[in-house]
Structure 1
């Protein structure tokens, strides 16, 4: 019993009304069997003292990894009944919000990872939750952009929003502060955002760095007429590398698959890609 109490502290479960009963290793994940119980409260409707009734079906609550394995808490919550007005009530805990399934500690971890360069799907996989849960948490943040100013040097880039979907991000080149995070990278989405800035503000932008995504270039010239466009050298090298790779494959395919030339070109591809 003392050992289970120590595990409660280790998991940072601060609610004294949660009692851990057992921990089961399922091979792929761990399940913490627990119950939530406390003395019957007064009825919120009529004020009479309620009585303990039964326990709910276990709530499956995702939790932080333990010993490198995904973990979830199977929490059985006490139900109370008022025998004066028949009001039913379920025990509440600080572990999760009322009528919610995701614990506060997971929400804190999602918020922490959202400011890192990690995709939504990766965050969901790491925390054993759905991508939609991560997106809902992102939508909880309220960004208040300052439409009265823009930096002289701005960076445009894209990032993975969800699997298979790219989104747009704009940053201050000098201090890396985020100017805008948009759910899409289409011209319409980007144009609608930056048109919220006055033309005079947009004209103060002198340089925009970006990759070789052509819609960015055309749009930047329209929205920021005084800005010079600087292509990110990383993306230039990336495009050259891909072009070299295509030429290598074309030459390689001119030979028979079992020939010495074919095998040499395929095996030593890194030598061709080097400076």
Structure 2
């Protein structure tokens, strides 16, 4: 029993009502046979006293890898029956949400990999989950845009999200709150996004800081006629540094 308690700690299973009964080597993966049981409580329907009834068929819960092997928790959950109204209830655990099969810790791992530069196929293979599970988690990250407000000072920039492709990001210059993350930095992509805001909202913007990417300037003047355009000093210094470096190389090549 002490050994199984150690295994529970190793797997990060913190629910004291889960008891590990056996560890099975299934060659391709490791199966953790466990049960979920605790004293009966009051019935949620009639407030009568529940009584222990039986166990459900094992729920097969995918889990994080352990020692390089995929792990599957076969969890038998206690069922309770009300002695008055006859309603049935199933034991609940912090390991996995009610009516869900994917444990909380695995959902957290999916979220972590989505933030990193990991493909969806790689996530499904490494965590042994379906593509639909990853997509459901991805939808939780959908950015909701408030079309009724824009900051007085806004900054535009781009970043490398995909290999060989730049994406656009806009944020509040003062609070650094992200306003938009767009898959691409073309004029059409940026224009279509900001035209969703009314002219009155766009006219509230007074200053836009940006780099020296030329298409930004004319587009910003069209979308935000009341705003002044300010070039980001970081990019100015960066361009000067590159120019000096190119000149240095040209001079060095003359002595070769």
TM-score range, shorter chain: 0.5 to 0.7
Distance 1:186 1:97 in 2: 42
1:132 and 1:39 map into 2 onto residues whose CA distance is 36
TM-score normalized with structure 1 length: 0.63
Q: For the residues of structure 2 that align with 1:27 and 1:190, how far apart are their CA atoms?
A: 52
1:204 is matched with which residue: 208, 216, 231?
Answer: 208
What is the deviation of 1:14?
A: 0.8
Counterpart in the other structure of 2:80: 80
Which of the numbers 220, 223, 227 marks the counterpart of 1:224? 220
1:50 deviates by 1.3
* Preserved CA contact (<8 Å) 2:29 2:70: yes
TM-fit CA distance, 1:178 = 6.0
Give yes or no for contact 2:53–2:81 (8 Å, CA) kept in 1: yes
C-alpha RMSD of the superposition: 3.7
Match of 1:138 in 2: 138
CA separation of 1:83/1:181 partners in 2, compared to 1, >3 Å: closer, same or farther? same
Alignment coverage as a number of residue pairs: 213
TM-score (norm 2): 0.67
The equivalences for 1:138-177 within 5 A come to 138-141=138-141, 143=143, 147-148=150-151, 149-151=153-155, 154-155=157-158, 157-159=160-162, 169-171=167-169
- State the SS of the aligned residue for 1:224: helix
Distance 1:30 1:190, change over 3 A: farther
- Unpaired segments ≥5 residues, structure 1: 161-166, 211-216, 231-275
Give the conservation status (yes or no) of the 8 Å contact 1:80–1:88.
Answer: yes
8 A Cα contact 1:147 1:196, kept in partner: no
CA distance in 2, matches of 1:190, 1:169: 10
